[in-house]
Homo-oligomer: A and B are copies of this chain.
Amino acid sequence: MTGMDLTVATLRDLAEGAAVLGTGGGGDPYIGRLLVERQLREGRRVTIIPIDELPDDALVLPSAMMGAPTVFVERPPSGRGNVAALRALEEHLGRTAAATMPIECGGLNSMMPLLLGAQLGLPVIDADGMGRAFPELQMETFAVYGVPGSPMSIASDHGDVAIIDALDNVRMERLARVMTVEMGGAAYICDYPMDAATVRRTAVPGTLTLGMRIGAALRTARERHEDPFDALTAALAGTIYTHGLILFRGKVVDIDRRTVDGFARGHVTLAALDDPGDQLRITFQNEHLVARRDGEVVAIVPDLICTLNTDTGAPVTTEALAFGQRLTVYAISTPDIMRTPAALDCFGPAAFGLPDPYTPVEQLTAGTQVGA
């Protein structure tokens, strides 16, 4: 294999970069990072392989946690449930997985396939199905390009396992969601079983190494006392995330955050430091969905709207938002594979009940083309 072995240093970079790609949601990668770090320190290896590595017919089982990442803080994963989920789907399919991969490169789920890879010696493909974080299982490029999410497996750390073969991917999400709640609010899943050729056709490539690049850029900027946002923009250069730009800089003057139907829904409003009347308001549902400056949309899902600490560039999740925080709102354009009409049907503004049409962030703003 031509894969790259994960180190504690690259893991830490990835954890921070994945939090940026979480766009305010996705769950803090912290607890997942600690679990993977322990695996590495105990001598186990995680090999990250490029998307073109495996033969066409090799079976790939994407893996993730489902539910509330906060549950993991109170009850850390034992390492049984995620293995049980993979084994159950292998058994159901009558085939052995050649690799796992993230369904979601943003937030905690960037880490979960690495943990599984370390535990089982299974390579992890450098690609995912969201190119960021999204709240639901049908919001996958896999789904957009015709891969059925079913059969999927779901398991708890306590010994409960199920296989769900749903009518469609939305039904799969609904059924897995109620199982997750009944399993204690967090569960492990493997879904969208597919061969490596299908991964190449439907996944967002290179998103684990992108996360590492972003994390490394922010770390290096801090070490060198350089501007983290310049570093972030430089890190995106040459990637399929072609545009990165600062949307706004200010301090938090209002937060409206409620838990509704299992989601963190709400708004955060920032005011410019030098002009309190100049405000940016972000609407979120776990992840940031739309940013409006003085009422005008300046970035909208599926483009990434990232809230970062103005001094350090450290990503700030919606749970961590607090009055008076000085934040920089940084937008990143999604890759073309996530901007097709089919993709926008699946995870564009209307999928979140937003009335606004999708307009690419680089058209909405006087954006800086990375590398331009």
Contacts and interface: CB of A to CB of B under 8 A. Distances in A.
Interface of A: 88, 92, 158-167, 171, 174-175, 177-179, 181-183
B160 A162 contact: no
A222 to B, nearest CB: 46
Nearest to A175: B182
A165 B92 contact: no
Nearest to A161: B165
B182 A160 contact: no
18 contacts: A92-B163, A158-B171, A159-B167, A160-B165, A160-B171, A160-B175, A161-B164, A161-B166, A162-B163, A162-B164, A163-B163, A174-B182, A175-B179, A177-B182, A178-B178, A178-B179, A178-B181, A178-B182
Nearest to A166: B160
A185 to B, nearest CB: 13
Contacts of A163: 92, 162-163
Contacts of A181: 178
A118 to B, nearest CB: 25
A158 B159 CA distance: 28
Contacts of A183: 175
A11 B163 CA distance: 36
A179 B183 CA distance: 12
Contact of A160 (B92, B159, B167): B167
Contacts of A159: 166-167, 171
Contacts of A161: 164-166
A18 B177 CA distance: 36
A166 B181 CA distance: 15
Contacts of A174: 182
A161 B152 CA distance: 11
Nearest to A172: B160
A149 to B, nearest CB: 12
Contacts of A164: 160-162
A86 to B, nearest CB: 14
A148 to B, nearest CB: 12
Contacts of A167: 158-160
Nearest to A162: B164
6 interchain residue pairs of minimum CB distance: A159-B167, A178-B178, A163-B163, A161-B165, A178-B182, A162-B164
Given A92-B163, A161-B166, 16 more contacts: A88-B165, A158-B171, A159-B166, A159-B167, A160-B164, A160-B167, A160-B171, A160-B175, A161-B164, A162-B162, A162-B165, A162-B166, A162-B175, A175-B182, A177-B182, A179-B179
A158 B177 CA distance: 18
Contacts of A178: 178-179, 181-182
Nearest to A181: B178
Nearest to A152: B162
Contacts of A158: 167, 171
A159 B151 CA distance: 12
Contacts of A165: 88, 160-162
A340 B134 CA distance: 53
